[in-house]
Amino acid sequence: MKRISTLADIEAGLDALCRIDPRLAAVRAVAVDVPLRLDQPGFPSLAAIVISQQVSRASAEAILGRFTALLDPLTPDAVLAAGDDVFRAAGLSRPKQATVRAIAAAVRGGLDLDRLCRLDAPEAMSALTAVPGIGPWTAECYLLFAAGHPDVFPARDVALQSAVGHALGIDPRPGDKALARIAESWSPWRGVASRLFWSYYRATRMREGAPSSSA
């Protein structure tokens, strides 16, 4: 299946999802605008996703802005050469410092983040989660936003859990395992479904739920 690379791909996916699951037509009507959200593959994109972990979109963008200002350009070599004071000034927690450094070391050691975007999702996920500090959510978001993978759904994402629960009348909201089972029916367009529900979250909660972007 082709990768998601244009807004036309998003529209095609939304049309298919509404045929697969008619309930999603109402979700689409509320969401209105479902953006492409496609970043350039590479270290800055993955670092931005790490920084987005467990903080609000506004906080992630502020931290990322400070980090990229302190390390311009944001490269693996720059990260590995930076002292702890740079990470503290940017506002990265110690676990995120360790993860960003581990990614930088992995890239300098031969991990090709661009090549990973051309692999099937299971193989790419395996390579990404082998890096210390990268869990499934981070890997899935990288495949969504850097690779344009059409059939990835980060079921561990709290905003997605909240959005699906609200939209489909599931109370309490589904946990990650329950949400993954629900999302199975949206294959092979789970990548578009994730964008749809992030947009629904934004429309109903009046704030962004999707992770921050390096763009």
Residues 161-191: tens digit of each pLDDT: 999 999 999 999 999 999 999 999 999 999 9
Whether the Cβ atoms of residue 104 and residue 44 lie closer than 8 Å to each other: no
| Region of residue 41 (phi > 0: left; psi between -120 and 50: alpha; otherwise: beta) | beta
Q: What is the pTM of this model?
A: 0.94
**Mean pLDDT for all residues in the chain:** 95
User: Which residues have a Cβ under 8 Å from the Cβ of 94 and sit 6 or more positions away?
Assistant: none
Helices (H), 94-207: 94-108, 113-116, 121-129, 136-145, 158-168, 176-184, 190-205
pLDDT over 70 at 200, yes or no: yes
Nearest-angstrom CA–CA distance, 61 and 31? 22
> Structural domain boundaries of the chain?
7-38+151-205, 43-137
CATH topology of domain 43-137: Endonuclease III; domain 1 (1.10.340)
pLDDT over 70 at 83, yes or no: yes
| Model confidence band, residue 206 (pLDDT cutoffs 50, 70, 90) | confident
User: Which residues have a Cβ under 8 Å from the Cβ of 150 and sit 6 or more positions away?
Assistant: 1, 2, 3, 4, 9, 13, 188, 189, 190, 191, 192
Whether the Cβ atoms of residue 18 and residue 180 lie closer than 8 Å to each other: no
User: Which residues have a Cβ under 8 Å from the Cβ of 136 and sit 6 or more positions away?
Assistant: 125, 129, 154, 156
Predicted pLDDT of residue 2: 82
In three-state secondary structure terms, 63 is helix
Residues 84-102: tens digit of each pLDDT: 999 999 999 999 999 999 9
Predicted pLDDT of residue 215: 52
Predicted pLDDT of residue 1: 61
Return the closest-CA partner of residue 140 out of 132, 75, 126, 166. Answer: 126
Mean pLDDT of the region 107-119:
95
Architecture field, domain 7-38+151-205: Orthogonal Bundle (1.10)
Residues 35-64: tens digit of each pLDDT: 999 999 999 999 999 999 988 888 999 999
Whether the Cβ atoms of residue 52 and residue 68 lie closer than 8 Å to each other: no
